[in-house]
Amino acid sequence: MTDTLLLLAMNGLIWGLIIALIALGLSIIFGLLDVINIAHGDFFMVGTVVAWFTLEFTGNFWLGFIVAPLIGFILGALIQRVVIQPIQGVAALSIVATFGLSLILQESVRITFGPTPRRILPPISGTIPLFGIEYEIYRIFAAALSLAALAGFFLFLQHTKVGTWMRAVRHDRDTAIAMGIPAQRIYILTFGIGFALAAFGGAVAAPITTVDFRGGVDILPFCFMAVIIGGLGNLPGTAAAAVLLAFLEGIIQSVADPTIARIASLVLMSALLLVRPQGLFKGYVK
Amino acid sequence: MTARTVIERALFVVFAAFLLSVPWLVPAFVSDFWVNLIAEILIWSLFAASVNLLFGYVGLLSFGQALYFGFGMYGVGIGIDQLGLSFWPAFGLGIVSAMAMALVSGVLAVRLTWHYFAIITIVFSLIFYFLAVTMKSLTGGDDGINFTMPPTFSIDGNVWSFTNQTFQYFFILATVTLCFYLMYRVTRSPLGKAFLAIRDNDVRASLIGLNVYLLRLVAFVMAGFLAGVAGALFAFFGRYASASYMFYQVSGEAVVWAIVGGAGTLFGPIIGTSLFIVIREVVSTRWEHHALIVGVMAILVVILAPKGLVGLWRDALSRLDTRDPSATVTKTLRTEP
């Protein structure tokens, strides 16, 4: 009993770290561009598919960790320029546009990758003893990688010029533009980074989950909830909320089946949303 | 009278005449299948109208209307299959359960606005979607429940039921028309004006004495009614109810249909819905990957016609009007967001 609890709690924690990456992408796209990105789950899905193709063509899984975010970044920048820029941050229109984008991404993957879900074997097999249970090494590695990416992203945001620009544009766009910050380029960059984060999350998650053209559909509500519960615009809060949510769901799964666990976490979430719509971590310094 | 009103009235008459003649006209030129397709479009238009009532007139973007559609569906499905109800009580059960659900969730949801409202409506609909998937004995889960259709009217041995395609079509047309007429009356009433006031500025609306919370709740229940009627009709139409229609993607499609057609206009949802469903049907018989075209279309419409297709059309007609020297400049109430 305690073994399954520990196992599911660990799984939840690691899944939460991956979700945190994806949700961060969603949050910066929303915060900077006012875009409600319905296609964000599909950005994740593209990451898993790119990882699969990389493994298929090069025989090297590790390359996927570079190729997936790279392709994600290029696609994201392109999408911002072609689709998002013309609608100029009207949130209602962004829903329709990204819904269309979601269909295009899913269908393109269905054409090239095929409609059947596939699995990738973890590149590191084997288990190690951890708190008395045998735990898959790859999952530990995935957690470390996600943590590194999260840390890297926050360092980039806090300590580089471009990161500071991004924060400036989010904080006050007009002043930022008046100060000579190239807002248009920052938008393109932000969308690219948002896509890249989700695609990287996809590459990390590919051996844990299945690779499927509909793989993003379940992820999307979860990411939105992390963004809202963490507090809109609160990036560390978003990451913390994602981990917390997945961890909780993992724990509930040890006593109930996954659907009940999902329902329980949704009920919890709606209660939270009604009691504290400003998010769990209001007051946390950005 | 401006050129715009003349043209729009003429179009309305043509449109009405077309809808009334569908069961004879369409099989003669295309096929029987299209009569059912048009019936289906009418039902989905009603569903899109429920999104439009909330978003276009009150400014609340709901991503969970599929929940009330699903309750309408299951009210009918469970009513007939498990409670053994006949047509009208089952219809009533579907509508009442959708409205009751809208009332209960609305009491909580309309306390929030904009993003929070959108998220909480998704969360509510997901909770009941997963519940419906789990409670297989009651709902049949994703497979759904099939039922045999009871007759609609049975007077002196004469039976009218949905098994007659023409009757089915006219019943759906009449119900949908009635709902759209109700919505038209509401938007023209003081209540509708209060909705618009809240949409444009809820703080000012509350300062002139409108009870914003209550009005939003009323709109939410009304939207639940529209979605419930659509769901109940769709259950009758397909003779089944399934949890898959409660998933958030179904709600998302309705949002897209309403915005592409033109949010805040009566006919926008009909036009958006027709466009997407007709394309889906026409293309899917020839090409498997019709979703690509739908995706590209959605993007093109928001880039080229940000006020929706109805907005685009009205802009074109107003240009016509300004060229017409006899046209008087009238300030009409803006009904696009």
DSSP type of residue A121: -
Pairwise CB contact (< 8 Å): A92 & B292: no
Residue A285 has what pLDDT?
41
Which of chain A's residues have a Cβ under 8 Å away from the Cβ of B61?
92, 95
> In this structure, what is the dihedral angle of CA atoms A166, A172, A175, A181, given to the nearest 10 degrees?
10
* Interface subset of A 32-91, CB within 8 angstroms of B: 36, 38, 83, 86-87, 90
Instruction: Identify the H or E element spanning B223.
Output: helix B212-238
Residue B332 has pLDDT above 60, yes or no: no
| Structural domain count of chain A | 1
* Tokens encoding A253: 């799964």
CA distance B302 to A247: 39
Q: What is the pLDDT of residue B334?
A: 55
Q: Give the distance from residue B120's alpha carbon to the nearest chain A alpha carbon, in angstroms.
A: 6
Distances A270 to A228, B4, B126, B219, B304 between C-alpha atoms, Å: 11, 46, 11, 21, 37
CB atoms within 10 A of CB A186: 22
Residue A263 lies in a domain: yes
Query: CATH number of the domain that B106 lies in?
Result: 1.10.3470
For residue B251, being part of any structural domain is answered with: yes
Say if B136 is an interface residue toward chain A (CB within 8 Å).
no
In a domain, A72, yes or no: yes
B112 lies in some domain: yes
Residue B200 lies in a domain: yes
Ranges under pLDDT 70 in chain A: 1, 282-286
In this structure, the number of other CB atoms found within 10 A of the CB of residue B164 comes to 15
Task: Tell whether A115 is within 8 A of chain B (Cβ).
Answer: no
Q: What residue type is assigned to position A194 of the chain?
A: G
Per-residue pLDDT tens digits for A91-137: 778 888 898 899 899 999 999 988 888 888 888 777 777 777 777 88
A119: which DSSP letter? -
Q: Is residue A189 part of a domain?
A: yes
Query: Does A19 fall in a domain?
Result: yes
Give which of B329, B311, B237 is closest to B52, Cα–Cα: B311
Does residue B25 fall inside a structural domain? no
Q: Considering the entire predicted model, what is its pTM?
A: 0.85
Residues of A in contact with B129 (CB under 8 A): none
What's the whole-number average pLDDT of chain B? 87
In the predicted structure, residue B266 carries a pLDDT above the cut 50? yes
Q: Say if CB B53 and CB B219 are below 8 A apart.
A: yes
Q: Domain range spanning residue A44?
A: 2-275
Residue A123: the pLDDT is: 80
Which position has the token pair 């276009």?
A: B56
Domain at A124, CATH number: 1.10.3470
Strands A127-130 and B240-241: unpaired
Nearest to A262 by CA among A244, A248, A276, A275: A248
Give the burial string for B224-247 (b: 16+ CB within 10 Å, else e): bbbbbbbbbbbbbbbbbbbbbbbb
Q: Which domain holds residue B161?
A: 3-15+33-323
As for how many domains chain B has, the answer is 1
Can you say how many angstroms the Cα of residue B275 is from the centroid of all Cα atoms in its chain? 14
pLDDT value, residue A282: 61
| Cα distances (angstroms) measured from residue B146 to each of A111, B79, B92 | 33, 12, 19
CB A168 within 8 A of CB A17: no
- Best B302, B304, B309 member to test A by mutation, with max A CBs in 10 Å, is B302
**Is the residue at A17 inside a domain?**
yes
Cβ proximity of B94 and B213 under 8 Å? no
Residue B161 CA neighbour count, 13 Å, CB half: 12
Please tell me which residue of chain A has the smallest CA distance to B61: A92
Calculate how close chain A gets to B264, using CA atoms only, in Å: 13
Q: What is the pLDDT of residues B37-49, one digit of tens each?
A: 999 999 999 999 9
Dihedral sign, Cα of residue A22, residue A24, residue B126, residue A265: positive
Is residue B72 within 8 A of residue B183, CB to CB? The reply is: no
The alpha-helical segments, DSSP class H, found in B142-211 are 165-188, 190-200, 202-207
Report yes or no on A197 lying in a domain.
yes
More confident residue, B213 or A229: B213
Residue B327 scores a pLDDT above 60:
no
**Quick one: which of B30, B64, B71 has its CA closest to B255?**
B64
B115 with A36: Cβ contact below 8 A: yes
Q: Is B122 on the interface with A (CB under 8 A)?
A: yes
The letter for the amino acid at B173 is L
The residue of chain A nearest to residue B289, with distances taken between CA atoms, is A107
Which residues have C-beta within 8 Å of that of residue B293, sequence separation ≥ 6? B279, B283, B287
Burial call A127-159: b when 16+ CB within 10 Å, e when fewer = eeeeeeeebbebbbbbbebbeebbeebeeebee
Whether residue A80 contacts residue A187, with contact meaning beta carbons closer than 8 Å, is answered with yes
A129 found inside a domain:
yes
Sign of CA pseudo-dihedral A211, A216, A221, A223: positive
Q: Write down the pLDDT at residue A1.
A: 59
Main-chain phi, psi angles of B156, to 5 degrees: 50, 45
**A87: Cβ contacts below 8 Å, ≥ 6 apart:** A93, A94, A97, B302, B303, B306
User: Which of A98, A103, A260 to mutate against chain B (most B CBs within 10 Å)?
Assistant: A103
Residue whose structure tokens are 């949010």: B263
Please check whether residue B49 is in contact with residue B183, taking contact to mean a CB–CB distance below 8 angstroms: yes
Task: Between A7 and B94, name the one with better pLDDT.
Answer: B94
Contact residues for B251 (Cβ-Cβ < 8 A; gap 6+): B51, B62, B63, B64, B65, B66, B67, B121, B122, B125
A51: exposed, middle or buried (Cβ count in 10 Å: 0-12, 13-18, 19+)? buried
Block residue for tokens 């309705």? B254
Distance, in Å, from the CA atom of B293 to the CA atom of A203, rounded to the nearest integer, reads 28
Q: Is the pLDDT of residue B331 over 60?
A: no
For residue A283, being part of any structural domain is answered with no
pLDDT at B235: 93
Torsion from C-alpha of B222, B226, B227, B232, nearest 10 degrees: 130
Yes or no, beta carbons of A93 and B306 under 8 Å apart: yes
Kindly state whether B260 is in contact with chain A, defined as any CB-CB distance less than 8 angstroms. Answer: yes
Instruction: Judge contact between A135 and A122, C-beta under 8 A.
Output: no
The pLDDT value recorded for residue B333 is: 55
Of the two residues B155 and A107, the one the predictor is more confident about is A107
d(CA A157, CA B265): 43
Q: What sign does the dihedral A25-A26-A31-A35 (CA atoms) show? A: positive
CB contact under 8 A, A101 and B299: yes
